Each structure stands twice: as C-alpha cells, then as structure tokens.
Amino acid sequence: MNSTETKQSVAPAAADQDERIQRVSFWKKALNRPELGALAGAVLVLAFFIAASSGTGMFTPAGIINFLEVAAQLGIIATAAALLMIGGEFDLSIGSMIGLAGILIAIPAVEYGWPLWAAILLAFACAGLVGWINGNLVNKTGLPSFIVTLGFLFILRGLAIGTSRLLTGRTQVGGVQDHIPGDWFAALFSGEVATGLFSWMAENGWMATNFAGNPTVSGIPVSIVWWLGLTAVATWVLLCTPYGNWIFASGGDANAARNSGVPVHRVKISLFMFTAFSATIFACIQVMDTGSADTIRGLLKELEAIIAVVIGGALLTGGYGSAIGAALGALIFGMVQMGIFYTGVNTDWFQVFLGVMLLVAVLFNNYMRKKAMEAK
Amino acid sequence: MARLSQWLLATAATTALMAGAAQAQEPQQDASRFVMVTHGVPSDPFWSVVKNGAEAAAELVGAELEYRAPSTFDMAKMQQLVEAAVASNPDGLILSFTDENALGGAVQNAVDNGIPVITINSGGDVARDYGARLHIGQSEYEAGKQAAERMQEMGVEKGVCVNHEQGNQGLDQRCDGFVEGFDGNAEQLATTYDPTNIRNAIVAYLNENSDVRGVLTLGALAAEPMIQAMREQGATDMFTLGTFDLSPGILEALDAGELNFAIDQQQYMQGYLPVMFLDQFVKNGLLPAGDVATGPGFVTQENAAQVIELSSQGIR
C-alpha cells in the first residue's frame, strides 16, 4: 500500500483511474516503440562524453554542429536503409552508389559544362534506375537482397572508377564549387541555413569564436535539415499511411502480406529506389560541400548505415524498426566518431574506441528493452 | 691433314650456321616482356601516374608491359598476382614491395628462376634481402621527417599528422617520421576516408589544441578537406599546411599560396625508370649500382605552375 500511496502523491491526476491500466498502457506504448533502446543508448553515450570530455569544446555550439553534421550525413542514408530493412531487405550498394552519383554529378558539370541541376537530375535518374534494377532482381530471382546488392556494390564502384578514368583519366574530379552559385537545384544541397541568426548571435557576444577568430558556428549545415526532414517524412509514412503498413507487412511476412493484397513487389522496388535516392542526396551534399567527387567516396557507408539502423532498434530479419531509431543510431555513431577528438584519447586506438562504444550502446539498448519487458 | 681440314670445314660451317641462325633470329627476337605488380587500387590517382610512366618507357624501348594490381588493398591477393607473374616467366619483374612476409617468398622464387626484380615505391629497406636488384622510391619515414623540419624552419613548434588510413605501413611511417622530426612535439590524428569526417576532425582537433600550428596530411583524399576547412575559416595564413602527393585541388591551393608545400615522390619515375633499367639489363646487362631516390621533392608556390602543366598530362 505504501508504494501506491507514493504514486498517488506523485501523480494525483492519475488517482481517479485504474492505475494498472494507466501503467501498462504507458509501458506498452514505450515498449512497442523500437526507438526506446536507442534513446537509452544515445543518452548513455551522451553522458559518457559529457563526463569524458568535460572542459573541452565537444558541447559548445561548434562541437555540437561538428558531430551533428557527421551524424546527419549518415542519418540521411540510414533513414532509407531503415525503411528497406523494415521491409525485409538490405541494400549493400548504397556506399558505391554514393561514389557513382558523385562522379555522375561532377563529370557532366565540370568536363562537359552541363548546368549543375541537369547533372544532379542525371544522377538521380541513374540512382532510380539502379534501385529499380536492384528491386526487380530481388523480386524476380528470389535471391537474398544481400547477394544481389553485394554484386551491385562492386558493379557500381567499378562503374564509377571505370567511367571517370575513361572520361577524365583520373579518379578525382574537382572544381564543382565554381558551378554552384546561381544554380537553384544545387542550392538545395549546399551551404548552411539560418546563417543570419548565427552571425547576429556572434555579434551580440552570445557565441564564442573559434581557432581562427570566427564565430564558432556560422549556420546549420543543410545536411542536418535534410536529415531531420527525411526522418520526419519516413516516420509519418511508416506510422500514418497505408504504405507504411505495407512496408511492415512486407518485411514481417511477405507471403501473408501478398495474400492480403499488399503489392509486395512494388513496395520493395520503391524501397530500393529510395535507398539509391538517399545515397544520391548524400553524394550531392558531399560533392557540393567538398567541391569535388572521388570514386572512393562512400566507402563502407552501407555498413555504417546498417549499424545505425540496428542500433536504432530495427530487426535484421525485417518487419520491425523505426526511422527515429535510425536517426538516433546515426546520432550515436556521429557522437562516437567525433567524440574521440575531444576526449584526449590517443587516436591510434580510434577504431577500438569506436567499436567498443558501439557495442556498449547496442548492449545497453538491448538491456533497457529487456528491463522494460520485465516491468510489464 | 684431311682430318684437320674436315674439322675446320665443319667448324666453319657450324659457325656460319650459328651466325646465320643468330642473324635470322635478331629481327624476329620477341620483345622483352616485363610485368609490373603494384598494391595501388584502381581508384587511387597516384598509381595512374606510375602506370603512365611505365607505359611510356615500355613504348620507348619496344617492350611489352603488363600492369597488374589487386582491386582492394589486400596483400594475399597481391601475393597471388606476384606468383602468377613469376609463373609466366617474364624477362623482368617490377613490384611495390609493401609487405615482406607476404611477398618475400615470391620475390625469392622469381630471383631463383633467373628473373631480375626491381622494387618500387615501398619496401626499399628489405627488398635486397630477397634478391631484388634495385629499389626505386622514397623513404616514407625520411619524407615525413623532412616535412617536420621544413615546418619548424617556418616557425611551427607543434604539429599534427592526419592519418586517414591507419595500418597502411607507408602512411604510418610518414607520420612516425613527422613526429620524430618534431622531437615528439607532434601528434597523429586518425580519421576515416570520409571527407566530412576528416574536415570536422581537423577542426575539432585544432579547436582543442590551440598551440598546434602545423598540419600535415598524407594524400589528396585528406588534403582537400583540410584546405576547405581552412578556407571556410579564413585561416590558411594562420597555419603552416603541408601534404603528401599531388592533385589538381592541391596544386591550385599551392598556386594560391593557401598550402605551403606538397611532398612529391615523382611517381612517374617509379614507373618509367624500372622499365628502362630492366631493358638495359636484358639487352646489355647494365644496371645502376645503387637504389634510386625519386623523392621527397617539395612542390611550393614557386614551382606549382610548372607542375600543374605536367599534372594535366598525367606525369605528376
């Protein structure tokens, strides 16, 4: 009785209702959300860095933007990878698609004088085609998407290298930044937003200056806006549209879904096209940002995206997961990847650090979920 | 007497026959076939230039050149390529000797079969132990050390070496030499391949270590994000910036004075020279007596323009 009294005193509003229903429904809500564990993992990683990097610049505005930008770029592809994984498939060709898309943007623009918007559209069109082929191959052959897209991992990387060597004699193409000004489409993928706000803050002394004497943050990188936008849209699609239900159904049990009228094949093709699109968005942002394309860009990003999605609570077997979880997974990844530079750890141990932190985050994530289940 | 004359006749006839055969053989003689095996993955711009150099030399001397490289940085694959090359019994073998454990046996095997071997680019310190005739390349450690010395001459007291591929022996040696050159007053900063990651890591590091004034990157992959970060902050004058290797972006930054120096190992020579040397060895038995250092050479604002011209031709 004591415990009941305490609860009642803490939450008097709940006193009138049957408290068991109240509690179960609250836990059930949290439990049914895959992102619960990821949130716990993110909080843990955050707490670790607040402790380990105290007195450093990790949690100044500049430091936050610094790791958010890395998280955002990964988050963009992780969102699409999450939808696809919930739909029951993998796409290992994302990383190579990034390299190829970059080349498809840079070569027409720099070597052949295309306007940048046309080159970007070409890259998106090719990405759409690649996604469509991936999806159709998986559907028609019945092979695991792991194998089909593994093939495309090599094909796309090889195409990027071969094409750029053939047309330019090298594997890096620079000079894209000269084409950005005045291009309406490229503007969507380049620069920063809210720059006025930040310079105003700096003028009023609300923001510190960095090693070069500039305001530490001049704006929010556009990649962060894309990340948040894509996560929001993907979450809305998953939770509020019939198409979202189709994705869950296709990944959960494709046969049952098909029997109940879900166009599983079309769902999968569209998801593969979306992962290729997201890789192209990633490539656009990076090409505009660095001013160059390189055939090696995006190396291992397919694995990082899958890691982010899994940290985010999705099941490797499909049918379960969330876009917000993937975003949290990308956030954890970005924090860990950049955090080491603030902790003073010798960077010889960079990869050990990265691996251990990711494992800890996932283990904690699972532990929290189990705890939550028991509490039910 | 009859016997002697018979013998003389026979000898003369044989000699004439042999000479005739030799003469007849001369124009038909097959072109020398050299095989070059490197660890350079196809996407690495550095190795395109090596290949260009080797192809130019082969054309010049009328030799046949086979260039082979694994598609990923993988010593086991490279070992297989070298073994296959030895088995094809070429007139000469050129290889980048990145790993003595993986490649030493195959090199020894080539030497035992009478195939002359010239190593290029890496492994110069140990290649001779396995019977290689000659090494053509740059001491990575020495190059890193010279980069540090140059930065110190420019007034830098503390530096950082950005390593975008930890575990690559050559890159690790460059950083080791750099740190040693600074008497330990320098650190290694490990990053991934990702340009955004590299750029943000450098910015984060410099914000945390305000006494560091010299930044060294180990290749174009990392140099361009570094230059970009400095441009964005308008900080190119605040730091002494150096890099290894050349690319159009690096040359442009050198020309504009945003980058202080680039260390160039003239890799065109690492392709060109071994083919020329092997050709001389096959034809005349001639070889240089000592290793050839193609680097470190420093490209700065003064000579950038000339190098840009050569770079567009795939020579630098």
B53 to chain A: which residues are within 8 Å by CB?
Answer: none
Q: Residue B29: what pLDDT?
A: 59
Q: Residue A305: what pLDDT?
A: 95
Measured CA to CA, the distance from residue A14 to residue A3 in angstroms comes to: 14
| Average model confidence (pLDDT) across chain B | 87
What pTM was estimated for this model as a whole?
0.78
Q: How far is B286 from chain A (nearest CA, A)?
A: 34
Report the half-sphere exposure of A358 (CA within 13 A, side-chain side).
22
B47 to chain A: which residues are within 8 Å by CB?
Answer: none
Residue B282: which of B135, B82, B63 has the closest Cα?
B63
> Any CB–CB contact under 8 A between A297 and chain B?
yes
Distances (CA, A) of A360 to A6, A74, A304, A349, A364: 34, 20, 16, 16, 6
Give residue-wise pLDDT tens across range B23-56. 444 444 578 999 999 988 776 778 888 998 999 9
| Cα nearest neighbour of A64 on chain B | B204
A211 to chain B: which residues are within 8 Å by CB?
Answer: 203, 206-207, 210, 233, 235, 238
Q: How far is B25 from chain A (nearest CA, A)?
A: 39
pLDDT tier, B11 (very low <50, low <70, confident <90, very high otherwise)? low
Phi, psi of B239 (to 5 degrees): -120, 155
Measured CA to CA, the distance from residue B264 to residue B142 in angstroms comes to: 13
Those of residues 95-124 in A touching chain B at CB distance below 8 A are none
- The residue to which tokens 């010279």 are assigned: B146
Those of residues 226-255 in A touching chain B at CB distance below 8 A are none
Q: Residue A11: what pLDDT?
A: 47
B205 to chain A: which residues are within 8 Å by CB?
Answer: 341
Q: How far is A223 from chain B (nearest CA, A)?
A: 11
Task: List the single residue in A171, A289, A337 with the smallest CB-CB distance to B43.
Answer: A171
Q: Residue B9: what pLDDT?
A: 54
Mutation pick from B46, B194, B206, B213 vs chain A, by most beta carbons of A within 10 Å, is B194
Q: Residue B100: what pLDDT?
A: 84
A202 to chain B: which residues are within 8 Å by CB?
Answer: none
CB contact under 8 A, A211 and B233: yes
Which tokens is A133 given? 């082929």
CB-defined contacts A:B, below 8 A: 124
CB contact under 8 A, A214 and B197: no
> Any CB–CB contact under 8 A between A171 and chain B?
yes
B235 to chain A: which residues are within 8 Å by CB?
Answer: 211-212
Q: Residue A14: what pLDDT?
A: 47
Tell me the pLDDT of chain A (376 aa) as tens digits.
344 444 444 444 445 666 555 555 666 666 667 788 888 889 988 999 999 887 787 888 888 998 999 999 999 999 999 999 999 999 999 999 999 999 999 999 999 999 999 999 999 999 999 999 999 999 999 999 999 999 999 999 999 988 988 888 778 888 888 898 888 899 899 888 887 787 777 777 777 666 666 777 778 999 999 999 999 999 999 999 999 999 999 999 999 999 999 999 999 999 999 999 999 999 999 999 888 898 889 989 999 999 999 888 888 888 889 999 999 999 999 998 888 888 877 877 888 888 888 888 888 877 877 776 665 4
**Residues on B contacting A at a C-beta cutoff of 8 Å:** 42-45, 48, 163, 166, 187-197, 199-201, 203-208, 210, 220-221, 224-225, 228, 233-235, 238, 247-249, 252, 314
Q: How far is B215 from chain A (nearest CA, A)?
A: 14
Q: Residue B13: what pLDDT?
A: 54
Q: How far is B95 from chain A (nearest CA, A)?
A: 22
CB contact under 8 A, A348 and B42: no
Give residue-wise pLDDT tens across range B261-285. 999 999 999 999 999 999 999 999 9
Phi, psi of B129 (to 5 degrees): -60, -25
Percentage of chain B modeled with pLDDT above 70: 91
Reported ipTM: 0.76
Give residue-wise pLDDT tens across range B233-258. 888 889 999 999 888 889 999 999 99
Are the beta carbons of A81 and A282 closer than 8 angstroms?
no
| Cα nearest neighbour of A333 on chain B | B197
> Any CB–CB contact under 8 A between A144 and chain B?
no
Give residue-wise pLDDT tens across range B115-171. 999 999 988 888 889 999 999 999 889 999 999 999 999 999 999 999 998 877 788
> Any CB–CB contact under 8 A between A66 and chain B?
yes
| Strand ranges, E, within chain B | 33-37, 64-68, 92-96, 117-121, 134-137, 159-163, 186-190, 214-217, 240-244, 261-264, 292-293, 297-299
B224 to chain A: which residues are within 8 Å by CB?
Answer: 174, 290-292
Give residue-wise pLDDT tens across range B174-222. 999 999 999 999 999 999 889 999 999 999 999 888 899 999 999 888 9
CB contact under 8 A, A212 and B220: no
Q: Residue B142: what pLDDT?
A: 92
> Any CB–CB contact under 8 A between A292 and chain B?
yes
Q: Which residue did the predictor score with more confidence, B313 or B304?
A: B304
Q: Residue A1: what pLDDT?
A: 39
Give residue-wise pLDDT tens across range A149-183. 999 999 999 999 889 888 887 788 888 888 988 88
| Cα nearest neighbour of A213 on chain B | B233
Are the beta carbons of A49 and A335 closer than 8 angstroms?
yes
> Any CB–CB contact under 8 A between A165 and chain B?
yes
Percentage of chain B modeled with pLDDT above 90: 59
Q: Residue A10: what pLDDT?
A: 46
Distances (CA, A) of B170 to A235, B122, B244: 46, 7, 11
